[in-house]
Structure 1
């Protein structure tokens, strides 16, 4: 077995207005220039320059209809924006993460589009393989992706979000430095402990409705809240 960490590449759309029609048109243009290249590609939308009146549910649907997957939203977000985004179970990514080669969400006519592939890199720590009892994986100042199970007695910690593509039987602590917008995504939830920004929930506090289910864990009104991914 080989355990390794690597960079995770995401596409970023720089949304300059609340127009979801423009967003869909730009994504469609990108997808037809390289058929299959962007199929099911993860997308982050940066809304720093957009208006506050964005319909995030329609944004998610519009992006999905173009064959992309919305995995997060970034920007200098207000408290109101964060609440609306979390209500749609969309991850909030820190705008301080390093960015390069932006895809313009609304490209001005006087500016030439950049050549493909146009990507934005987020330094995300990726661990491949099972995290065993006694092991601790920590993603400092970034998100953590686990491709494998997290065993009982193991800990996965991130200053940002945590994505677990496997079963969580140990502890998961997101927003370790106090980021209350952090979330935990898990394919099969049976944890010893869940924590976001220091606020935690123990296994005894979980109802059977969520045990072994695919879930998103977020923080709302200073409380840990669970939702099923298949109901989003």
Structure 2
């Protein structure tokens, strides 16, 4: 597969205006050049103006509103409907995606028969504790799997022709989407543990997943690193070679 001409549509649904900069920074730092950003604001009280103004500073950014009465699944479905590229990447507004995040995912599509890719083993960063947590699973990188982190879901458009995100649930849209994809015969692969970090704030109630710090840090197989610079631990370069196939350096 010649990937150089393939584009990625990154879709960020948000109800948290303070993370506006984070969304744009995650998009801008990606070295994958064929990309677009679709922002879906899901809170009627949040003005679109700051997003639209910021979008003027970046190429290929679109901003939309989906009524707050609609759930995350409806927001993502709307975003996919607006997407112009064949590959769709879900982008969480409060996490960190390294410059090589999209490139690594595209390599996985290139080197396997994957329809959906994401991360099974993940890093979590606790800035208020200066701790980086690696939650290890038994699933090997670059292999078939049955679960991935919701913030790392990326799929080919043909998946969406059969499976959409559920629109009637308050939580768990990601999990149900993946289950439906597997039930429909789509192939799910995990990439490496690198190039993505889920951020955890001091107040677990500010997260959709309301697990507390203790539960995460004491989880089975947890590896904890004390650091104020998580990048040196989580970043692994991937590059695009002239043939158009992504390759690991």
Higher strand share: 1
Give TM-score, length-normalised by structure 2.
0.28
Higher relative contact order (CA 8 A, sep 6+): 2
More helix by share: 2
